């Protein structure tokens, strides 16, 4: 199995600063096309920033940002996932053609999400999450991050199954950078196999996250984190990850090709 590349398309006013609704949709579509040309398998469309400290966005505003982009990409035959914590946005996005729901809260933030996941019957990405961005850093307390993330992800799986989500539709994600300090993130990256043995496909999202600054010189920019992201993606592929969620599709493609070449040479 080749690890899938999920290209990140953030449709937020600050991600495409040229302003104006039409301009934003056009810019988002052309960025999506560039990522597809570079080898993205899935485009992950999100309208709400989940960065530490970020404010929440109204559901109607979030839907207004993402739905035109989801609709157009789906019409072009692109596999789209919708990155949202809102059940209403998820449901509308699937109606508009999204093929997958990516909920960073794993169904915790909106009690209606699990039933939308069950009713729409599309793959559902349940990420490890402990709370909203505003209080995420105070939640980074674990007795063992590896064991706690496993247990908390399995609790989400139980809740999703109880709501009628098919086990074949569930994809798990360790939630790198969410309620985790740098040490927690590195420990999870070093033990992805323990999450893969839970028996669900695993998505790993390290892209440009703050913990990567640990391996870079002081003063490195956020974009300077791309080669480190690619290295983590290659390690994730070697561990057996189903997919990686990244900004830099081109670099990721190369990193995954290295993994494939080594795997092929081993026979
Ligand atoms: N990270 C972010 C947003 N969505 N979804 C999944 N499944 N996994 C992640 O790690 C993840 C996500 C935050 O990153 P961004 O602000 O760079 O999109």
- Along the 267 residues of the chain, how does pLDDT read in single tens digits? 799 999 999 998 766 544 556 668 999 999 999 999 999 999 999 998 776 667 778 999 999 999 999 999 999 999 999 999 999 999 999 999 999 999 999 999 999 999 999 999 999 999 999 998 777 778 999 999 999 999 999 999 999 999 999 999 999 999 999 999 999 999 999 999 999 999 999 999 999 999 999 999 999 999 999 999 999 999 999 999 999 999 999 999 999 999 999 999 998
Please tell me the predicted confidence (pLDDT) of residue 15: 61
Atom of ligand 1 nearest to the CA of 127: 7
Please tell me the predicted confidence (pLDDT) of residue 57: 83
Please tell me the predicted confidence (pLDDT) of residue 51: 67
Please tell me the predicted confidence (pLDDT) of residue 23: 64
Return d(Cα 223, Cα 248) in angstroms, integer: 9
Annotated active-site residue 245? The verdict is: yes
Which pairs with CB-CB distance under 8 Å and at least 24 residues apart come from 73-79? 73/29, 73/32, 73/43, 73/45, 73/97, 74/98, 74/99, 78/32, 78/36, 78/43, 79/41, 79/42, 79/43
Question: Distance, CA 245 to ligand 1 centroid (Å)?
Answer: 7
Return d(Cα 225, Cα 235) in angstroms, integer: 15
Of 205, 254, 260, whose CA–CA distance to 229 is shortest?
Answer: 205
Please tell me the predicted confidence (pLDDT) of residue 20: 57
Residue among 245, 247, 252 whose CB has most ligand 1 atoms within 8 A, to mutate = 245
Options 71, 156, 209, 225, the catalytic residue: 209
Of 210, 214, 212, 257, whose CA–CA distance to 238 is shortest?
Answer: 257
Question: Distance, CA 163 to ligand 1 centroid (Å)?
Answer: 24
pTM of the model: 0.95
Question: Distance, CA 157 to ligand 1 centroid (Å)?
Answer: 19
Q: Decide if 192 contacts 174 (C-beta within 8 A).
A: yes
Annotated active-site residue 223? The verdict is: no
Please tell me the predicted confidence (pLDDT) of residue 135: 73
Return d(Cα 63, Cα 48) in angstroms, integer: 10
Please tell me the predicted confidence (pLDDT) of residue 53: 65
Return d(Cα 222, Cα 79) in angstroms, integer: 27
């Amino acid at each position: 199995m080749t690890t899938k590349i999920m290209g990140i398309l953030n449709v937020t006013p600050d991600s495409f600063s040229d302003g104006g609704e039409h301009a934003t949709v056009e810019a988002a579509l052309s960025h999506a096309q560039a990522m597809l040309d570079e080898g993205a398998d899935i485009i992950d469309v999100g309208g709400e920033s989940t960065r530490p400290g970020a404010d929440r966005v109204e559901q109607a505003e979030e839907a207004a940002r993402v739905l035109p982009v989801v609709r157009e990409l789906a019409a072009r035959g692109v596999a789209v996932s919708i990155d949202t914590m809102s059940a209403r946005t998820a449901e509308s996005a699937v109606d508009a053609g999204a093929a997958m729901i990516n909920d960073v809260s794993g169904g915790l933030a909106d009690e209606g999400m699990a039933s939308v996941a069950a009713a729409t019957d599309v793959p559902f990405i349940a990420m490890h999450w402990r709370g909203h961005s505003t209080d995420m850093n105070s939640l980074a307390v674990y007795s063992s991050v590896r064991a706690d993330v496993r247990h908390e992800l399995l609790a989400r799986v139980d809740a999703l199954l109880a709501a009628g989500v098919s086990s074949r539709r569930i994809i798990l994600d360790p939630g790198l950078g969410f309620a985790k300090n740098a040490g927690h993130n590195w420990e999870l990256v070093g033990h992805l196999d323990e999450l893969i043995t839970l028996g669900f496909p695993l998505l790993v999202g390290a892209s440009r996250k703050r913990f990567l600054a640990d391996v870079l010189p002081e003063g490195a920019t956020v974009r300077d984190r791309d080669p480190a992201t690619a290295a983590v993606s290659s390690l994730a592929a070697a561990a057996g990850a189903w997919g990686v969620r990244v900004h830099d599709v081109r670099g990721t493609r190369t990193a995954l090709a290295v993994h494939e070449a080594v795997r092929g040479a081993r026979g």
